[in-house]
Structure 1
Amino acid sequence: MENQRGKGLSFARRIYVPRVIGLGFGFFSVGAALYSLNTPSWLWALLLFNGFVWPHLAYQISIRSAFPYQAERRNLLYDSLLGGFWAACVQFNPLTTVTILSMMTMNNVAAGGQRLSLLGALAQLGGMLLGCTIFGFNLNLTMTQAQVWACLPMLTLYPLALGMVCYRLAIKLSQHKRALSALSRTDSLTGLLNHGAWKDLLHLKYQQCRQYHTQATLALIDIDHFKIINDSYGHIVGDAVLRQLSRELKFLLDESELAGRYGGDEFCVILPNLPLNKAEALMEQLRAALLQYRHPDVPQLRVSLSIGLARFQPLYKDALDWLDDADKALYTAKHTGRNTISVALPRPQANDANHSSA
């Protein structure tokens, strides 16, 4: 409910400035056509109200409404109704009528698409019928120089204002789209890549290593006895440990080194263009940093890591082979005392394997 109201308020704010500009200049367009006619005083008063009071009143009606979006759509239909009414009042003067109705139709299309433009056209027709009922049907095809000059600002500045509104909306939508895309790829607790996004990058990095013959090292990181941490100290402390590990990863890694949360207490890192010894040294820094971590509410807590490393090998059939080697190295680290780093052994070449079997 609150979110819908927020969207409605945003919609009303977008319409406000174009309405102020459009109806303000529309006053002069209609006024120039009415000037040569026998126009009653009350009609001039209505035109002044429509041109300079109604835009601000419509905005206040929308933002004070419980449903701003629906209120603003009704206001747009009132605009169209009055537009048709003014077309009848100026006796369907071609330039003034086309200027007013086309600008309003443009606004309806931009604001509500086909449905609102159709409703707006019906409202314009209703306004014409109302005007003809009051003043009779008259047709005045004469256009003066004053009417041409009075319509020019409406024809030039109003489309500019509407175009700027649409441009800003497009920029905002693009920003929202990028933000949503980033959120869909990010683990909410740690801010690292989530499982799916990291797996996609692993497959991409595998293809790059094969195609360009580059090297990279894959690391799988597991927090030792994480279930015991959660069971003994609670999930809030466990979450703090996960966030601390993500902070240390972000601190140690550069932009080309890609870290993700693989699941639960398991993290994963792709270290491109990094020799195995340097990758091992980097992971040793990470292991030592977590060992020094102290939770302010649980000072006795000690956090250690088991890490498995696997360097890319051309023998891998796919990225899952690479991941499987890193996982086996992690298994070795966890079953040889934990709090350590294990490196996957190179796979034997095909000819070596054949020679061994022989």
Structure 2
Amino acid sequence: MENRRGKGLSFAKRIYTPRIIGLGVGCISVIGAMYPLSLPGWVWALLLFNGYAWAHVAYLMSTRSTSPYQAEQRNFLYDSLFGGFWAAATQFTPLTAVTILSLIAMNNVAAGGRRLFMRGLLAQAVGVGVAWALFGIRFNPDVDLLEVYTCLPMLTLYPMVIGMACYQLAIKLSEHKRALSALSRIDSLTGLLNHGSWKDLLSLEFHQRQQQHGVATIALIDIDHFKRINDTHGHIVGDTVLRQLSLELRRHLRENDLVGRYGGDEFCVILAQMQSEKAAKIMERLRETLGNYRHPQIPELRISLSIGLAGFKPAFSDAATWLNAADRALYVAKRNGRNQVVTSEDTLTHSTQVVLQLPV
């Protein structure tokens, strides 16, 4: 309910300034058409109220309502009612009537689509009926010079105001779209890239390395025995560990390094323009930092990391092959006792040693 009220208030605020300007210049148009006519004083008083006070009254009615959006929709119908009334009161002199009725119809379509447009037409018809009942059914096909001049502000200024309002709304929508797009790429717990976004960037990085023949390294990071941490201390503590690791990753890495949460307790990094030897030193410092971390409420909690690294090689056929190389290095780190950093080159050396030890 509060969310709907907030959106309704935002809608009323966006309408407020265009309504002030539209009614103000619209009043000038009606004055130009009414001036030659002999109408009672209360009609002029009503015109001034509609032109220069109604916008403020409508805004107060909307903002004080429990449902501002619905109140504003009713205000659009009142605008249409007034518009029909003034079109008929000025004897449907062509330029004034068409200007008022068409711009009001445009507002209704922009604010509420077809439904508000149809309801607005009905409200305009009611306004016409009231004016005809009071002043009789009259039509004036002539357009004098005064009417032309008094309609010019409405025909020039008001469309500019509406155009600017639409432009500002489009900018806000674009900002919201970018924010939503960013949120869809981010893991909500750690604030890092999520699995899908990181893999998309990995594919881009792979193709760039192929084309530019540059260097880069992938790191896969696994929190050792993370399930045991959750089972022993609870998921809240487990989430704290994940956030601590994400914090240290940001501290240890450069701004252009791409960091993501690959799975439940597995993180991934693309270290652009970095050889695996230098990346291994950075990952070793990260491993030591997390090893020294102490939870304020659970000092006996220990965190260790197993990390697998793979530098880019032109022989890799695709990004998945590159990633698999890092995954194999991570597997070796776990198999050899965890809490260590292993590169794909280390795994090749280890495999060679095993082969050499086999009996001939």
- The secondary structure found in structure 1 opposite 2:260 is strand
1:51 positional shift: 1.5
- Show the counterpart of 1:311: 311
Deviation at 1:292, TM superposition (A): 2.2
Aligned to 2:251: 251
The amino acid that maps onto 2:19 is: R
> For 1:167-186, what aligned pairs fall within 5 Å after superposition?
167-186=167-186
Residue 240 of structure 1 aligns with an amino acid whose one-letter code is: T
Alpha-carbon distance in structure 2 between the residues aligned to 1:347 and 1:148? 86
Structure 2 partner of 1:345: 345
Residue 211 of structure 2: aligned partner: 211
Aligned-partner SS, 1:284: helix
Deviation at 1:346, TM superposition (A): 8.4
Partner of 1:92: 92
Report Cα offsets for 1:82-127 as digits up to 9, x if no partner. 1011000001112221221222122223222343333323322332
Q: One-letter code of the match for 1:216?
A: A
Match of residue 233 from structure 1? 233
Aligned partner of 1:356 in structure 2 is: none
Structure 2 partner of 1:57: 57
Q: For residues 155 and 298 of structure 1, what CA distance do their matches in structure 2 show? A: 72
Instruction: Give runs of aligned pairs for residues 135-150 of structure 1, distance below 5 A.
Output: 135-150=135-150
Structure 1 residue 133, shift from structure 2 partner: 2.7
1:13-32 to structure 2, matched below 5 A, reads: 13-32=13-32
Q: Distance in 2 between matches of 1:212 and 1:268?
A: 23
Counterpart position of 2:76: 76
Name the aligned partner's letter for residue 73 of structure 1.
Answer: Q
Q: Which residue of 2 aligns with 1:116?
A: 116
Is the CA contact (8 Å cut-off) linking 1:260 and 1:267 kept in structure 2?
A: yes
**RMSD over aligned Cα atoms:** 1.9
- Aligned residue number for residue 291 of structure 2: 291
- The corresponding residue for 2:165 is 165
**Structure 1 residue 148, shift from structure 2 partner:** 2.8
* Residue of structure 2 in register with 1:282 after alignment: 282
- Counterpart position of 1:156: 156
Length-normalised TM-score, structure 2: 0.91
Q: Deviation at 1:347?
A: 9.6
Please give the secondary structure, in 2, of the residue aligned with 1:345.
Answer: helix
Output the amino acid matched with 1:156: T
One-letter identity of the residue aligned with 1:273: Q
Q: Distance in 2 between matches of 1:300 and 1:343?
A: 30
190-199 or 147-156, larger mean C-alpha shift: 147-156
Distance 1:82 1:165 in 2: 23
CA distance in 1 between partners of 2:50 and 2:123 (Å): 16
CA contact (8 A) 1:80 1:121 kept: yes
What amino acid is the match of 2:61?
A: I
> Does the residue aligned with 2:170 lie in a helix, a strand or coil?
helix
Task: Report the equivalent of 2:103.
Answer: 103
Q: For structure 2, which runs of at least 5 residues remain unmatched after alignment?
A: 349-360
Rounded to whole Å, the distance in 2 between the matches of 1:151 and 1:105 is: 17
* Residue number in structure 1 paired with 2:356: none
Checking the alignment, whether the CA contact within 8 Å between 1:280 and 1:309 is kept in structure 2 is yes
Residues 315 and 347 of structure 1 are in contact (CA less than 8 Å); yes or no, is this contact kept in structure 2?
no
* Counterpart residue identity of residue 244, structure 2: Q
1:276-305 C-alpha deviation (Å, 9 max, x unpaired): 111111111211221222222222322111
Match of 1:28, as an amino acid?
Answer: I
Which runs of 5 or more structure 1 residues have no equivalent in the other structure?
A: 349-358
**Deviation digits for residues 51-72 of structure 1, max 9, x if unmatched?**
1222111112222222221221
SS of the equivalent of 2:161 reads helix
**CA distance 1:330–1:249, shift in 2 (3 Å):** same
- 1: CA distance, partners of 2:298 / 2:346: 41
Q: What code does the residue aligned with 2:130 have? A: L
The question of whether the paired residues in 1 share the 8 Å contact of 2:329 and 2:347 is answered with no
Secondary structure at 2:313 match in 1: coil
Compute the TM-score of the two structures, normalised by the length of structure 1. 0.91
Amino acid at match of 1:252: H
Measured in 2, the distance between the counterparts of 1:159 and 1:18 equals 10
Q: Measure the CA separation in 1 of the matches of 2:161 and 2:106.
A: 12
After superposing the two structures, state which structure 1 stretch, 142-151 or 18-27, moved more.
142-151
Map residues 313-328 of structure 1 onto 2, 5 A cutoff.
313-328=313-328
Amino acid at match of 1:221: I
Q: Secondary structure at the match of 2:153?
A: helix
Q: Which residue identity lines up with residue 81 of structure 1 in the other structure?
A: L
Provide, for residues 337-357 of structure 1, a one-character-per-residue CA deviation record: whole Å limited to 9, x for no partner: 211101113899xxxxxxxxx
SS of corresponding position for 2:336: coil
What is the SS of the residue equivalent to 2:269?
strand
Range 134-143 or range 33-42, more displaced? 134-143
Tell me the distance in 2 between the aligned counterparts of 1:329 and 1:347: 6
Distance in 1 of aligned mates of 2:162 and 2:293? 56
Q: Does 1:266 pair with 2:266?
A: yes
Q: CA deviation at 1:189?
A: 0.7
1:297 alignment partner, SS class: coil
Partner of 1:131: 131
- Distance in 1 (CA, whole Å) between partners of 2:76 and 2:209 is 58
Given that 2:332 and 2:347 are in contact with CA atoms closer than 8 Å, whether structure 1 keeps it comes out as no
* 1:45 CA displacement: 2.2
Please state whether the residue corresponding to 1:263 is helix, strand or coil.
coil
How many correspondences in the alignment?
348
Given that 2:259 and 2:269 are in contact with CA atoms closer than 8 Å, whether structure 1 keeps it comes out as yes
